[in-house]
Amino acid sequence: MNGSPPPVASNGQVDRAGPALRQLRDDHVLGYGDEANEATRRRAAWRQVILSRARRARHELLSAWAATPPGQGQDRWGEEPAELILKAKASALQRVSAWSWLEGCYQEQAWLALHEADAQIIEVLPAEELLARADGILEKARRALGGEDPRVRCIQSLLCEAAPSESKLRPRLAHLTRATFDTLDDKYAQSRGYRNRLIRLTSLASAGIALPIIAGRMSQLNFHLADAPPHARSSRLVVLIMLFGSVGALITAIPPLAKANGVRNPFSLPFFQLLLKLAMGPLFAIVGVLILQNQLISSLQAAKDLGGLLVWATLFGAAQQSVTRFIDKRVTGLLGEVPVAAPPSKPATAKPLGQPVRRGAVAS
């Protein structure tokens, strides 16, 4: 319309790619030409994972574009997945405030965009690439949805056929991909929500730690110790008791954290799990020592000296595990996976699918 010639591709042919696909192809961050270090300056692990997955999706989309013969509507071929990949990249490079970090705004935006891009790439993959992609998606779906899920079993039955029908496999595989990612995204949202809950509980416990210290400064807390110097401030003794309570909490926190599986989770649940235990230990220690020294439980003998008192403080700090073990179970559930059923055997020789899909012929 403006008289300018159409862009020319590197092979000398007229470039009929749409604007988003051309922008994705020429992107310097995803194309490993990041001279300004926009990607490497973002040190958060989730950003690097997003950028790595976006580069892989870019390669898959551009490879599908190069392998697909020309057809009608080629100027819109791959535009939607290209736009989603670029959106995920922009979210990974976005500066995050404290509130957006709590809400996970940019993480959600990046992952949701990438997951939908993966599903849409399946809809435009050449037929010879579809079977190779199907095996990986099926394995991921078994872990996320379970081997008995009807959508998983449907794809299994299609792949077991001697000549899987492309018209049946392609839309069902895209649907299974979206269902799998929906489950994983919901699980990540639960992890983020539980992380925020752990942060709130830790903040409340930390505020509770200050109350006994203030009480020790306002009045003399009597711990009934024979070797306590008369000029010793009770607030300092309170702090000492709490420190040993933290030691007891740390000791009991090691086994649950060591047993955590290696599934990647971007919300560092084990770390915040540890912080809560360290905040609860001092509270258990000071309350337990006060009960012990005032002989509110007749079966327990009060400590006579400072050493015995600190041993009891350590034991009471370790007792926080009686409460936080419920949190350990919840974190283990969030980081766990759905049991995978044994898949049926697949024929060793499977005939290829039908003709490759043309540019612009995207399955709905």
Query: In this predicted model, which residue has the larger pLDDT, 204 or 332?
Result: 204
Query: In this predicted model, which residue has the larger pLDDT, 232 or 234?
Result: 234
**Rounded Cα gap, residues 82 and 270, in angstroms:** 35
The answer to whether the CB of 85 falls within 8 A of the CB of 113 is yes
The answer to whether the CB of 127 falls within 8 A of the CB of 357 is yes
The answer to whether the CB of 175 falls within 8 A of the CB of 123 is no
The pLDDT tens digits for 170-193 are 999 999 999 999 998 988 888 888
Q: Is the pLDDT of residue 264 over 70?
A: no
Which residue in 129, 20, 7, 116 sits closest to 68, CA to CA?
129
Q: Is the pTM above the cut of 0.95?
A: no
Which residue in 244, 319, 251 sits closest to 284, CA to CA?
319
**CA distances for 219 relative to 15, 88, 216, 228, 348, angstroms:** 82, 57, 5, 16, 81
So where are the chain's domains?
Answer: 14-125, 191-335
Considering 31-45, 173-187, 210-224, 294-308, the range whose residues carry the highest mean pLDDT is: 173-187
Q: Is the pLDDT of residue 348 over 50?
A: no
Single-letter amino acid code for the residue at 337: E
What is the mean pLDDT of the segment spanning 105-133?
90
Q: Is the pLDDT of residue 198 over 60?
A: yes
Query: With helix as H, strand as E and coil as C, how does 199-251 read?
Result: HHHHHHHHHHHHHHHHHHHHCCCCCCCCCCCCCCCHHHHHHHHHHHHHHHHHH
Query: In this predicted model, which residue has the larger pLDDT, 292 or 71?
Result: 292
The answer to whether the CB of 78 falls within 8 A of the CB of 21 is yes
The pLDDT tens digits for 266-310 are 677 888 888 999 999 999 999 999 888 887 777 777 788 888 889
